[in-house]
Structure 1
Amino acid sequence: MKRRNFIFDIFSIGIISSMTPKINAKEFINNNMVRSISTWKTTEANLKAGLMLDKGIDGLSAAVSGVAIEEENPKNTTVGFGEHLIDQEE
């Protein structure tokens, strides 16, 4: 019986989703609110990425620029310059 209910539910979702109109990107409201988040406390990186997004620069370029700031941060001991991964001497 559970299998029958599952198949009915999946079938219903498929029918309903095919009947609903497609959402176009033009229908979304642009509220000009920049969203830049990170998993660590990287205020400068978020600020840089947010300012780039504000200027209309694509998200990937903004993220790469934000990451570059933290990689050059000597106080950040997990990546980049702070961890001395860039200029390690053997």
Structure 2
Amino acid sequence: MQLPSILLENAVAQFAKLPGIGKKTALRLVLHLLKQEKADVKAFGEIISRMREDVRFCRRCHNISDGDICSICSNVNRQQHLVCVVENIRDVIAI
């Protein structure tokens, strides 16, 4: 698809790398961002960058965490002898 801007093309290509996002949906997302306030788009970009830099995996269970130990492992009320086996992070979030 030929777009009028190389920046637009690059943005569409990056969004299309996300799971479940094809080129049409990626274009729709990019065009939506172009209509938003600059401050909102800037905040969106900053939070994506910050998430990638600052979110970690728990050193005990490998759950997503803001610190070295996730909220589940650090919960003093949790029964430490019980383990819940899940396939992926989305399953942990669902619990």
Higher helix content, 1 or 2: 1
Greater RCO structure (CA 8 Å; 6+ sep): 1
TM-score, length basis structure 1: 0.29
Which has the higher Rg, Structure 1 or Structure 2?
1
Bigger strand fraction: 2
